[in-house]
Amino acid sequence: MLEDLCLGHGILFGKVSSTPSLLDKVSIRLNDIRIHSSEENLARVISIVDQMVSSKTSHGKLDSMLVFDADKTLCAADTGNLFWHLDYPESACAGYDIDTPLEELFSSEMGYSYKAFRQAMLRYEDIEYKFEVLCDGVASRVFIYPEFLALLHAAEKKSNVGVVVVTCGIRRVWEKILAREGLCNVTIIGGSRIADGYVVTPEVKAAVVSRLQNHHNLYVYAFGDSPMDLPMLKAADEAIVVVGDERLRSKSMDEALLKAISEDGLRAKQMLMPRTSGMRLSSSLLPVLQLNAQQIVAKFTKTPQHLRIFHATEKAAAKLLMTPTRDASVAGPSLRAAHHEVGRYLAIEFLADTLGVEKYPIPHVQGHITSGHRLFGEESTAIIALMRGGEPMALGVSEVFARVIFLHAKQPEDIHENALAGKKTVILVDSVVNSGKSIEVFVRHLQAIYAKVHIVVVAGVVQKDALTKVMKPLGKTADLSLVALRLSENKYVGQGGTDTGNRLFNTTHML
């Protein structure tokens, strides 16, 4: 009765038995409740992601990451339900006709919230004395789809591809399954016990994908099967909906998937597991990937062409540099100087690494010749200031790369083929990228002039909508990089007195 009341009012409920270790158990739980929050939870997961990438990159350059949900994605089974049916064998005998503790929990007012997953963790703590045995029982009954097993083994041998399993389910079960298959180096992000330190929610899954993309500059393939995977699938560069046997797969996915496609712009493909499974929705809404195991390995382990992103959003330097650009009292020459400094910073901090540097001889102050450094291939590089807001920042970039030609363009037609003769790299500079549409037409124009040109877009602020809806799709067909002081989720577009160009040149009165 008390447990039901707690569940109905969003209060965490756990059980402890009277044993010699009672005080220790209570102390551990109370301390965990005291220090834990959704923010702390996410920070812990992000730390694991960063450690994983750091470990992988120590063995070579990492280009892409395969992010898998576990239950009903890597395999046909729901390990959580199987766990509880093993704990209550009478329910298995009755044909799974009673709700497990987790089914009761997630159908309550808590839904699939952070608090609900914390409550699920306490459920597992309640049976800690038989947790390991039950995990063994579940793992022995679960087998990864052969196609994915081949992919995981192939990816583990590749230095350019990483694999991570992100599960809302039982981490320990999947540790045992992967270990049995000889996949001990595949990272598993999942929490079902206090000792794991965190829980995985749908929002956490999406945050993992975003961290891999925006902080580690990786191309992310995400594989999932249920509505809980949709945030992750929407965030990924390529989303794969795994469609299992109609009797076993999520019943609520079709409706949620249709909404994600029609309202949220999800672009995904479906993979049938097994290949005889009936498809979800239609092949026009959700194209079917018809690949055998060998083709799956080839597709997902090759180096993808994608937008490379470099930004300083979280850096202290960015916070200092962006302050005068956001200060409404700063305009005219002072604002142009601030944009100039942003351009210099981005050139030194990111462009030098992105494009590379080369040595050249310089006279040393002591009278001999020594080596200096400059941008690699300066003579084959061009800076184009998008007028008029991009000019001050572009001049800052130009100050660092003094031998690079400098051009102005208000519209794509201002860039003539003869001006770019022999140029292999073009640096497009604008102060703000809002929708990304103007950048798109410039990129298309440059591609028409020279299909293999490397284009680097440099901007002070880039709206995330422009990133996901325009620039990332562009990056699949163009050799494209993005260098930005910060990425922003603020969709406000300046007009009149707040327009960046007007503020830069004191023309705010010209509305």
Sequential DSSP letters for 208-224: HHHHHHHTT--EEEEEE
- Of the candidates 33, 122, 40, 124, the residue with the CA atom closest to the CA atom of residue 83: 124
The pLDDT of residue 496 is 42
d(CA 200, CA 310): 27
Both tokens assigned to 143: 């087998």
d(CA 236, CA 272): 19
- Of the candidates 487, 480, 490, the residue with the CA atom closest to the CA atom of residue 219: 480
d(CA 458, CA 187): 34
Mean pLDDT of 427-456: 95
Helices (H) and strands (E) counted in the chain, each on its own, are: 22, 14
Tokens 């572009």, located at residue: 394
120-133 pLDDT, tens digit per residue, is: 999 999 898 899 99
| Amino acid identity for residue 175 in this structure | E
Terminal Cα distance for the chain, rounded = 66
The pLDDT of residue 509 is 63
173-193 pLDDT, tens digit per residue, is: 999 999 999 998 899 999 999
Tokens 């850096």, located at residue: 315
pLDDT at 239 over 70: yes
295-347 pLDDT, tens digit per residue, is: 999 999 988 888 999 999 989 999 999 999 999 899 999 999 999 999 999 99
Strand partners, 59: none
Identify the band that residue 94 occupies on the pLDDT scale cut at 50, 70 and 90.
very low
The pLDDT of residue 497 is 46
**Residue 66 belongs to what H/E stretch?**
strand 64-68
- Of the candidates 339, 46, 454, 344, the residue with the CA atom closest to the CA atom of residue 214: 46
pLDDT at 108 over 60: yes
The chain-wide mean pLDDT, for the chain, equals 91
The pLDDT of residue 330 is 93
378-387 pLDDT, tens digit per residue, is: 999 999 999 9
Nearest-5° Cα angle at 318, 475 to 353: 50
pLDDT at 404 over 50: yes
- What is the percent of the chain with per-residue pLDDT over 90, rounded to a whole number? 72
Tokens 């003539």, located at residue: 416
213-223 pLDDT, tens digit per residue, is: 988 989 999 99
- Of the candidates 356, 41, 145, the residue with the CA atom closest to the CA atom of residue 153: 145
Phi-psi region of 291 (alpha: psi -120 to 50; beta: other; left: phi over 0): beta
d(CA 195, CA 350): 39
Sequence-separated (6 or more) residues with CB below 8 Å from residue 333:
none
475-504 pLDDT, tens digit per residue, is: 989 999 999 999 998 765 554 445 788 889
Query: What are the CB-based long-range contacts (under 8 Å, 24+) for 490-495?
Result: 490/463, 491/463, 491/465, 493/434, 493/435, 494/432
Strand partners, 432: 461
250-290 pLDDT, tens digit per residue, is: 989 999 999 999 999 899 999 999 888 999 999 999 999 98
Pairing of strands 405-409, 381-386: parallel
Cα Rg, the chain, nearest whole Å: 27
d(CA 246, CA 242): 12
- Of the candidates 416, 420, 404, 412, the residue with the CA atom closest to the CA atom of residue 387: 412
Identify the band that residue 511 occupies on the pLDDT scale cut at 50, 70 and 90.
low
pLDDT at 428 over 60: yes
d(CA 386, CA 62): 33
Mean pLDDT of 352-379: 93
Phi, psi of 318, deg, nearest 5: -65, -40
Dump strand ranges (E) for 302-420. 308-311, 357-363, 369-375, 381-386, 405-409
| Amino acid identity for residue 97 in this structure | D
Least confident stretch, 82-91, 158-167, 243-252, 499-508: 82-91
- Largest separation between any pair of C-alpha atoms in the chain: 91
Strand partners, 162: 65
- Of the candidates 316, 291, 318, 288, the residue with the CA atom closest to the CA atom of residue 302: 291
Identify the band that residue 116 occupies on the pLDDT scale cut at 50, 70 and 90.
very high
The pLDDT of residue 93 is 43
The pLDDT of residue 90 is 54
CB atoms within 10 A of CB 320: 11
Both tokens assigned to 474: 């562009």
